């Protein structure tokens, strides 16, 4: 594993059993929420993870953090495979990997004060003693742009944006090297979204934290991401450096998602033609054969319903899972 990589995920799968019958004991099928996902997040970078609702983004985030134990695959964090660790071993590494949730209202316990919420990870680790603890809380609140005197307020006394700042302070409490940000701004006003994104950006510059930043649409992750992965029905369709992905999207699904994003340049925007995909996202219980995107793909051809594409390099730091770009594409120059 490269020195600069903090998280490497290989062949990750999470299949949830569908049960029925008395005491839900009979397995009648599987939801293939995540099905063979591989990517790496480098130290101090942001990998954006984008895709439509239900494609498996949250499940990937939770599997990386081992909040779900994956069905198969590996998750290397700082060089160790978390999937092979016991709960006791995981407790040692958990402080260095954290989660920021989508809804800043629902993820905070209404009976806790801001100080309790931000300090809870420190209690759990037995680091919550004496005046140093109160000082650390005041410091964390000011790092995220809240006043230390707010420490004794309850969540309902904060605005949505301030509550998300509390969520960020809590995630920072144990000095993580990696944070999964699961749609941290989706529930906020557009004006507040930019503030939280700028805060996350500043924290990354200051502390060198790597983010897996989950979002629905490509416009949200553009500013923050160094690289972007596009997911569709439990798999990665394309992963590339930010500029390559926005300027030369190769997968027909990425092209369709991008065609829906307004472009700030009026000349380019005038020429943008939205690609409308037919149909709905199929169910992960019974995914289509071959390439899972083929029933909706405007460029589907002969082998797509039967051949499963693999995520293959098409150039340095650009991988696509599409039969239009077979693993040998582009043809290498003769020696």
Q: Which residues contact 262 (CB under 8 A, 6 or more apart)?
A: 219, 269, 272
Subset of residues 275 to 314 that bind ligand ATP, contact rule: CB under 6 A? 284
Name the DSSP letter for residue 99.
E
Asked whether position 107 contacts ligand ATP by CB under 6 A, the answer is no
- Quick one: which of 30, 43, 44, 54 contacts ligand ATP (CB under 6 A)? 54
Asked whether position 155 contacts ligand ATP by CB under 6 A, the answer is no
* Stretch in the footprint of Mg ion (CB under 5 A) among 8-16, 40-48, 57-65, 113-121: 57-65
The strand pairing partners of 48, in sequence order, are 213, 228
Query: Cα 313–310–253 angle (5° rounding)?
Result: 85
- Quick one: which of 10, 15, 16, 222 contacts ligand ATP (CB under 6 A)? 16
Query: Would you say 102 or 162 has its CB closer to ligand ATP?
Result: 102
Asked whether position 216 contacts ligand ATP by CB under 6 A, the answer is yes
Asked whether position 56 contacts ligand ATP by CB under 6 A, the answer is yes
Asked whether position 58 contacts Mg ion by CB under 5 A, the answer is yes
The number of beta carbons lying within 10 Å of the beta carbon of residue 85 is 16
| Shortest distance, position 10 Cβ to ligand ATP, whole Å | 19
| Shortest distance, position 57 Cβ to Mg ion, whole Å | 5
Query: Would you say 67 or 132 has its CB closer to ligand ATP?
Result: 67
Listing from the earlier edge strand, what are the strands of the sheet with 80-81? 26-42, 5-20, 72-77, 80-81
Cα-to-chain-centroid distance, residue 60? 7
What phi, psi does 21 have (nearest 5°)?
Answer: 85, -175
CA nearest to 106, candidates 193, 34, 175, 186 = 186
The answer to whether the beta carbons of residues 136 and 120 sit under 8 Å apart is no
Q: Which does 134 bind (CB under 5 to 8 A by kind): Mg ion, ligand ATP, none?
A: none
Subset of residues 232 to 261 that bind ligand ATP, contact rule: CB under 6 A? none
Query: Would you say 58 or 254 has its CB closer to ligand ATP?
Result: 58
| Shortest distance, position 58 Cβ to Mg ion, whole Å | 3
| Shortest distance, position 105 Cβ to ligand ATP, whole Å | 16
* Stretch in the footprint of ligand ATP (CB under 6 A) among 46-54, 158-166, 199-207, 256-264: 46-54
CA nearest to 239, candidates 56, 66, 37, 25 = 37
Q: How far apart are CA 290 and CA 220, in angstroms?
A: 31
The answer to whether the beta carbons of residues 113 and 104 sit under 8 Å apart is no
Query: Would you say 33 or 122 has its CB closer to Mg ion?
Result: 33
| Shortest distance, position 178 Cβ to Mg ion, whole Å | 18
3-state helix, strand, coil in the chain (%, to 5): 35, 25, 40
Return the SS3 of 161: helix
Interface residues toward ligand ATP, by CB under 6 A: 16, 31, 33, 51, 53-59, 216, 284
Interface residues toward Mg ion, by CB under 5 A: 58
């Amino acid at each position: 594993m490269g020195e600069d990589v903090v998280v490497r995920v290989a062949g990750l799968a999470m299949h949830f059993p569908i049960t029925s019958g008395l005491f839900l004991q009979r397995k009648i099928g599987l939801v293939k929420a995540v099905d063979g996902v591989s990517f790496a997040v480098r130290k101090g970078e942001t990998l954006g993870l984008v895709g439509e609702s239900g494609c498996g983004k949250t499940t990937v985030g939770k599997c990386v953090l081992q909040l779900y134990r994956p069905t198969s695959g590996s998750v290397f964090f700082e060089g160790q495979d978390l999937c092979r660790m016991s709960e006791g071993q995981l407790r040692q590494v958990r402080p260095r990997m954290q989660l920021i949730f989508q809804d800043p209202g629902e993820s905070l316990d209404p009976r806790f004060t801001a100080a309790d919420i931000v300090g809870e990870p420190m209690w759990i680790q037995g680091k919550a003693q004496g005046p140093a603890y109160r000082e650390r809380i005041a410091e964390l609140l000011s790092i995220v742009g809240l006043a230390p005197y707010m420490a004794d307020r309850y969540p309902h006394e904060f605005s949505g944006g301030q509550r998300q700042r509390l969520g960020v302070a809590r995630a920072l409490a144990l000095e993580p090297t990696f944070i999964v940000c699961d749609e941290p701004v989706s529930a906020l006003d557009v004006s507040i979204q930019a503030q939280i994104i700028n805060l996350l950006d500043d924290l990354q510059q200051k502390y060198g934290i790597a983010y897996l930043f989950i979002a629905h649409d490509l416009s949200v992750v553009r500013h923050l991401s160094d690289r972007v992965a596009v997911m569709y029905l439990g798999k990665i369709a394309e992963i590339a450096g930010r500029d390559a992905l926005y300027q030369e999207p190769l997968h027909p699904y990425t092209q369709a998602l991008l065609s829906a994003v307004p472009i700030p340049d009026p000349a380019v925007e005038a020429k943008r033609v939205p690609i409308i995909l037919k149909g709905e996202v199929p169910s992960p219980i019974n995914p289509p054969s071959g390439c899972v995107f083929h029933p909706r793909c405007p460029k589907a051809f002969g082998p797509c319903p039967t051949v499963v594409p693999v995520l293959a390099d098409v150039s340095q730091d650009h991988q696509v899972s599409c039969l239009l770009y077979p693993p040998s594409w582009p043809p290498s120059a003769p020696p």
